[in-house]
Amino acid sequence: MQRREFIATTAAASIAAGLGRSALGQDGQPAAANGARSNTFTLDYAPHLGMFRHHAGDDAVDQIDFMAEAGFRSLEDNGMRGRSIEDQQRIADALQRNDMRMGVFVMNMDGAWKPSLTTGSADERARFVENARESVEVAKRTNATWMTVVCGEVADGVPMDKQTANVIEALKHASVVLEPHGIVMVCEPLNWRDHHGQFLRYTPQSIEIMEAVDSPSCRILQDLYHQQATEGNLIDHMNAGWDYIPYFQVGDNPGRREPGTGEINYANVFKHMHSRGYDGIVGMEHGKSMGGKEGEVALIEAYRTVDPA
């Protein structure tokens, strides 16, 4: 895992940036190696696999160990459903050993976020419900609670109120499958700059759908990168939908990279979330502004800079 090299490069980057908070423990050693997590972030940020491969290598378990040493407490893996059962179990075991949580994986992966729930097709609704049923087993295996759902594209020629009713109906059917297991599908609004034509875009629209579905197994995944591009006013919209948002994802806008590379004041956004008592996962759904090990160190320090004290 090249741990010593990580320690050296991270410490050097902290000094160079003039940062008072290091990615390491107080004695210069990884906190996990000392049996404590003095370097743990205040909010529960979740990297994804591949984000630290230059330091940790390509093996998922080594990457998880590295994340834990750097102070992270959760993991996201959109493609978990496509992994072998053996790999799913290895990842789950590594998370448990490091006292980390499993964040979202994508529930409806058929095609390009198909089936689309907007059309009202009985076949597409049935496939969506089957996605939910199959994903229950993956969630149990990996100790996951949340699964990302994308509602699909706008249906040509279908009135918007009818499309909304079709989406609500499909989500209700899937909720029946998920509720007995305590598993939650989180519906993600997407911006039209990156995903033109997607049905679900706005926070008020999402709230309306959640109220109609009326299930603890159907909630909102609020990706602040998408919402900044779509509607702005992040804190106001966050407050409006707070009771329906158990999960956030982030990425700066424009560019979809780490905090500090765009226009979003993540220090204030995270401070607000913390002040409201948010203890859920904050998924790091973005790329990096720099490549190699230098970029990985910069990523960690970016989160140190905006993490609430």
Is the sign of the CA dihedral 80, 83, 89, 94 positive or negative? negative
Residues 6+ apart with CB under 8 A from 34: 25, 27
Q: For position 224, what pLDDT does the model report?
A: 98
In the chain, the domains with their CATH numbers are: 43-306 (3.20.20.150)
Q: For position 30, what pLDDT does the model report?
A: 40
Q: Is 120 exposed, middle or buried (0-12, 13-18, 19+ CB in 10 A)?
A: middle
Tens digit of pLDDT per residue, the chain (309 long)? 454 455 444 444 443 333 333 444 444 334 443 344 569 999 999 999 999 999 999 999 999 999 999 999 999 999 999 999 999 999 999 999 999 999 999 998 765 566 689 999 999 999 999 999 999 999 999 999 999 999 999 999 999 999 999 999 999 999 999 999 999 999 999 999 999 999 999 999 999 999 999 999 999 999 999 999 999 999 999 999 999 999 999 999 999 999 999 999 999 999 999 999 999 999 999 999 999 999 999 999 999 999 998
DSSP-derived secondary structure letter, 31: G
Which tokens hold the place of 108? 């409806």
Beta bridge partners of 149: 187
> Do residues 67 and 97 lie in contact, with contact meaning Cβ atoms separated by under 8 Å?
no
Kindly write down the DSSP assignment for every residue of 225-270, as one continuous string. Answer: HHHHHHT--HHHHHHHTGGG--EEEE--TTT--STTSSS--HHHHH
Q: For position 27, what pLDDT does the model report?
A: 40
Per-residue pLDDT tens over the stretch 295-307: 999 999 999 999 9
Q: For position 112, what pLDDT does the model report?
A: 54
How many Å apart are CA 218 and CA 178, to the nearest integer? Answer: 9
Q: For position 114, what pLDDT does the model report?
A: 64
How many Å apart are CA 133 and CA 137, to the nearest integer? Answer: 8
